[in-house]
Amino acid sequence: MTGNGSSVDTARAPSAEATTKPPAMPPEGNPALRMMGLPNFRLKLPSRNWLIFLSITGSFTSLLLYDRHQRKLAQRKWCTLVSHLALEPLPITSMPRKLTVYLAAPPGDSLSSAREYFTEYVKPILVSSALDWDVVEGRREGDVRAGLAERVRKLRRRRGESSEAELEEDVEFSVEQTRLKAGVREADGVKGDIIIGRHTWKEYVRGLHEGWLGPLDPPQPPVSPASVVDTSSPESSQSPAPETPSSSEVAQDLDGAHVPDDASPTAPPAVETPTEPAKPSKPAQQPPFISTTVYSSANLPSTLPSTFDPSTPLPFPHILGFFNTPVRIYRFLTRRHLAEVAGRDTAAVVLAGSRYYKQSLPSSTIAQADPITGSNEQVAGTEANEYEQQRILEHEETEWHKSVWKRKEDEGERAWLDQVVIDPRIAARMRKFELDPAEEARAAKIAEGKEGMLGETAYNGEVTS
C-alpha cells in the first residue's frame, strides 16, 4: 500500500509542474523610446480625480482661448475700419487731430483698472487711425470735474474774458504760442472727448456746466461770526493800546544783558543738523464755483460756442466683492462683448459722425439696457429723466461698491451720488458721436472677410471703393 501510494504521488508531480506557465514578458514598446531611456507608457484611462481635474481646467482654458481669439478678431475689425485715415497725407504745418480721454478710478478701486481698460480696448483703435490724444485722469472723486472746469475757465480767459486772476503761462500755453510763431496750426475738423464709465461721465457733465456757467474767479469763503470784531462797541474803543518800548530803554537792555558762555568767541560753533526737504503735498481739490441750484439764473458767457465738441461715454463694467465672484468670472470669459461695444464706439469717435443728444424722453420709467449682455433691467423707483445725458450708463451705478454710498455728516456735494442736473442751454449744445450705418455695414463685411481696408484690395481679391 505504501509503495503503491508513493508511486501515485510521484506520477502526479510532473503533471502539476506542467500546468504552471512562466510569467509573461512585458511588451518591448517603441524601440526608439527604449533607446532614449524613456519608460514604456501604457495607454489607460485616468482615475476619477484626474478626469475631474482635466475636465475643469480644459473647459476653462478652452473658453479663455476662444474669448481671446474672438476679442482679437473684433479689435482687428474696428482697426481695419479706421486704418485708412492713417494713410492720408498730413501737411507739415498742421498738427494731427487730437482727442481728449477722461478716465477716473472706479468707485472702490484704484486707477490702474481704468488705465488697463483704455490700453486694452481704446488705444489700439486710436493708434490704427494715427490720432493724437490727451488723457485727463482722476484718482479721487471730483478730480475730473475740477480738471475739466479749470480747462474751460482757462479757455474763457484766453478768449478775452476779464478775470481778477492773471492768466498763467503754463507749459501747454507756451507750446501753443511757439507753434503759432512757427506757423504750425491745429488740425481742422472735430476734436471730441471720450469718457470711460458712468462715474466719470457724471463728473464730466458737472465740470462742463461749472466751467461755462460758473464765474472765472473762486467765490469768497463765508466769514465766520467769531472772526468779525465789533469796532463800534465802547469797550473796544476804550481798550488801551499796547505800549512800545522807547529806543533808550532798548539800548539799556542791550547794554545790561547777560551774554551766555556759549556765545563767547572761544566756544565751538553749534553744529546744525541737516533737515530733510519736505515732500511736496498734493494740490487740494478746488470746490465747485457754482451750485447746481443756480444753473437757471446764471448768465451765459460771451465766449460760449454754439456747439460743443462731440463726446461719447464708453461702458466700464466694474464689480467688486467676494459674493460677486461668479459674475466676475463670467465677465472675464466673455470680454469679447465688451471689446465689440467699446471698439464700435471708439470707431465712431475716429470717424467723427455725431448727432445731438436726445431730449424730452416720453417714458415714465427707465429700462436699464446693458450694452454688454443686451439684457434689460427695470430699476424700481427710477423716474424718467428729461435728457439723454442723465440716463446714459445708469445701470452701472447698481454695481458700485457699498462703501461709495455712505455719506458723512455735513458732507458737501458729491458728483457720484448726486443726480445729474442739466441746464437746457448747455444740453442743447452737446453732441454725441454715432457710427454711420454705411460704416457699420462695411465693418460687418470686414468681419466676414469680404472687404479690407478702404482703398486697398480685400481679402477675397476684390478692390474696395
CB atoms within 10 A of CB 228: 8
Q: Are 363 and 384 in contact (CB under 8 A)?
A: yes
C-alpha dist (Å) from residue 122 to 68, 319, 343, 347, 455: 16, 20, 7, 9, 24
Predicted local distance difference test score (pLDDT) of residue 129: 92
Predicted local distance difference test score (pLDDT) of residue 183: 81
* Residue in this structure with the C-alpha cell 464689480, named with its chain if needed: 319
Cα–Cα distance for residue pair 290/302, rounded to 1 Å? 18
Q: Are 391 and 369 in contact (CB under 8 A)?
A: no
Give pLDDT tens digits for 1-58.
Answer: 444 545 445 445 555 555 677 777 666 667 777 788 777 777 778 889 999 999 999 9
pLDDT band at 383 (very low <50, low <70, confident <90, very high): very low
Q: Which of 168, 232, 197 is nearest to 313 (CA)?
A: 197
Q: Are 196 and 118 in contact (CB under 8 A)?
A: yes
Q: Which residues, at least 6 apart from 204, have a Cβ–Cβ distance to it below 8 Å?
A: 102, 144, 145, 148, 193, 195, 311, 313
Give pLDDT tens digits for 104-155.
Answer: 999 989 999 999 999 999 999 999 999 999 999 999 988 999 999 999 998 8
Predicted local distance difference test score (pLDDT) of residue 218: 82
CB atoms within 10 A of CB 247: 8
Predicted local distance difference test score (pLDDT) of residue 356: 93
- CA 224-229-233 angle, to 5 degrees, is 140
Q: What is the mean pLDDT of the chain?
A: 79
* Residue in this structure with the C-alpha cell 469796532, named with its chain if needed: 231
- Mean pLDDT confidence for 55-78: 95
HSE toward the beta carbon, residue 86, CA cutoff 13 A: 15
Phi-psi region of 257 (alpha: psi -120 to 50; beta: other; left: phi over 0): beta
Predicted local distance difference test score (pLDDT) of residue 363: 46
pLDDT above 70 coverage of the chain, percent? 72
Answer with the residue of higher pLDDT: 311 or 378.
311
Q: Are 432 and 159 in contact (CB under 8 A)?
A: no
Helix axes 437-448, 335-351, angle to 10 degrees: 130
- CA 133-134-135 angle, to 5 degrees, is 120
Predicted local distance difference test score (pLDDT) of residue 196: 95
Q: Is 142 exposed, middle or buried (CB count within 10 Å of its CB: 0-12, 13-18, 19+)?
A: buried
Q: How many residues does the chain have?
A: 465
pLDDT above 90 coverage of the chain, percent? 43
Predicted local distance difference test score (pLDDT) of residue 4: 52
Cα–Cα distance for residue pair 49/323, rounded to 1 Å? 27
Predicted local distance difference test score (pLDDT) of residue 172: 74
Segment among 156-160, 181-185, 318-322, 353-357 with least mean pLDDT = 181-185
HSE toward the beta carbon, residue 149, CA cutoff 13 A: 24
Give pLDDT tens digits for 264-316.
Answer: 455 555 555 656 665 555 667 788 889 889 898 888 998 999 999 999 999 99
Cα–Cα distance for residue pair 355/142, rounded to 1 Å? 28
Cα–Cα distance for residue pair 339/122, rounded to 1 Å? 9
pTM of the model: 0.74
Answer with the residue of higher pLDDT: 273 or 371.
273
